[in-house]
A and B are shown apart, each in its own frame.
Chain A
């Protein structure tokens, strides 16, 4: 079945460091891909998305490119801030029919001053 695999956390970085969180997926057809972020005590909220191959999603300095050839959707940010500390989830939405969201395990990011 369809699945999402993320790099394990926690990821600990200093402020202004470069961030990469790896995400790969297994899916039939042409899924849409998402990154969600969860701040402490809150629900998940959409960070960015890409709906077809080679699309780049971006928001708040974060970027991810939909790579069909490597089935990947890695999250990157050039300079992280303490306020970026959260749990990040990669997800896919199955193509066609009833398109449920399937999430990866989540990666906790801690950014220190």
Chain B
């Protein structure tokens, strides 16, 4: 398996524009997580899904953020409208269900810059 695939790797956009980040989890993994990483706040969990259903979105900072998982192989994180303070690295991770607390596998991240 190619691992968790995120696109794009880098995104530069102007304030007010809509941004969509994409994630393809590892096949067969039931959990999908979206994290945001900044110098100031570290690694924050935004939302996670189990079997395509959002379980906890309490980390989503504002209504400008939304996430979907229409099927087991694809998820999006959308910011509309984007603001400079949204600049960060966004990571997607997936994890199988199983005993022994299986690890989460991370994508390489999308570096978002809002100017």
Contacts and interface: CB of A to CB of B under 8 A. Distances in A.
Q: Do A and B bind each other?
A: yes
Contacts, number: 53
B33 A100 contact: yes
Interface stretch (B12-20, B41-49, B71-79): B41-49
- Chain B at the A interface: mostly helix, strand, loop or mixed? strand
A106 B42 CA distance: 7
- Chain A at the B interface: mostly helix, strand, loop or mixed? strand
Interface stretch (B60-68, B80-88, B105-113): B105-113
B39 to A, nearest CB: 10
A104 B4 CA distance: 22
A42 B108 contact: yes
Contact of A105 (B42, B108, B109): B42
Tier of interface size on chain A:
20 to 34
B101 A43 contact: no
A49 B101 contact: yes
Tier of interface size on chain B:
20 to 34
B70 interface: no
A102 B107 CA distance: 17
A51 B100 contact: yes
B48 A100 contact: yes
Contact of B56 (A32, A41, A51, A100): A100
Given A98-B50, A100-B48, A102-B45, A46 B56 contact: no
Interface of A: 32, 34, 36, 41-46, 49, 51, 89, 93, 98-106
